[in-house]
Structure 1
Amino acid sequence: MKSCLQPGLRHSESLTVDASMLVPALPAAFGGFHDMPPVFATAQMVAFIEWTCVQALAPYLEPGERTVGTHVDVSHVAATPVGMTVTATVELIAFDGRALRFKVAAHDATGLIGEGFHSRGVIDYARFMARVEKKAAC
């Protein structure tokens, strides 16, 4: 991680909600959501927030480094229909070695849809994958 990374870093990303991001489109492996309301899924909102954090950190990573999510504490307070744009805004509020904590929020055209905190850890990709492969061999 580059030493110029500091708390206060802010980043935003936007996306337009499509049918693949709606609750009924979630994998059937989780029991099926086919009869749920066709709105932006909480799981998709959390993934979008995580991706926004990844994008915010990308310029600060050294070769071979990545970040992984370690904690999510996010509310989902309003439904968003297909076709509406969602913007996620993240702010790095704490940085301690390899641990990063973000304040996060997501808005659609009518206002706040979710907010909370997300933590990520910096990893060495090769070492991380070696541990995963060792675990998979058990």
Structure 2
Amino acid sequence: MKDTLKPGLKHAGTLKVLPSMTVPNVSAELTAFADMPPVFATAMMVGFIEATCIECIANHLGDGEHTVGTHINISHTAATPAGMGLRAEVSLTGVERRMLTFKVEAFDDVGLIGKGSHHRAVIDLDRFMAKVEEKARG
């Protein structure tokens, strides 16, 4: 990690809600979602927020480092239809060794749709993947 990885870093991301991001389209394998209202899926909001956090700190990691999500605590308080714009605002509020804490908020064109916190861990990508491969082998 670079010494620039400190609390106070902020980033905002934007996105347009596509039909593929609505609840019925989350996954063909999760059939319980098939007849749900066609609004922006909570799963997609979480992914959008995580991506914005990754972008926030990308230039502050060392070679071979990445981050993985470890905890998410986010409310999703308003429905957003397909076609509407989104904005995620994240700020790094804590760095404790390799653990990062973010304050996160998501908005659509009308207002706040979700907020909470997200934790990510800084990893050595090669070491991480070696453990994943070992686990896959049993």
Shorter-chain TM range is over 0.9
> Residue type matched to 2:78 in 1?
A
Contact 1:26 1:32 in 2 (8 A): no
State the Cα deviation string for residues 107-127 of structure 1 (Å, max 9, x = none): 011100000000000000000
Secondary structure in 2 matching 1:103: strand
Q: Output the CA distance in 1 between the equivalents of 2:79 and 2:128.
A: 36
Aligned length: 138
CA contact (8 A) 2:94 2:102 kept: yes
Deviation of the 1:32 alpha carbon: 3.4
Contact 1:7 1:92 in 2 (8 A): yes
Q: Is the 8 A contact 2:5 2:61 kept in 1?
A: no
Letter in 2 for 1:94: G
Deviation at 1:28, TM superposition (A): 2.6
- SS of 1:94's equivalent in the other structure is strand
Q: Give the match for residue 9 of structure 1.
A: 9
Amino acid at match of 1:78: A
| CA–CA distance in structure 2, aligned partners of residues 70 and 16 of structure 1 | 26
2:71 is matched with: 71
Provide the alpha-carbon RMSD of the alignment.
Answer: 0.7
Match of 1:52?
52
> 2:6 touches 2:92 (CA, 8 Å); kept in 1?
yes
Q: Over residues 25-47 of structure 1, what are the superposed CA-to-partner deviations in whole Å (9 max), with x where a residue is unaligned?
A: 01132233111000000000000
For structure 1, list consecutive stretches of 5 or more residues without a partner in the other structure.
none
Shift in Å, 1:82: 0.4
**Alpha carbons 2:42, 2:76 under 8 Å: kept:** yes
1:1-138 alignment to 2 at 5 Å? 1-138=1-138
State the SS of the aligned residue for 1:28: coil
* Residue identity (%): 55
2-structure distance, mates of 1:41, 1:54 = 20
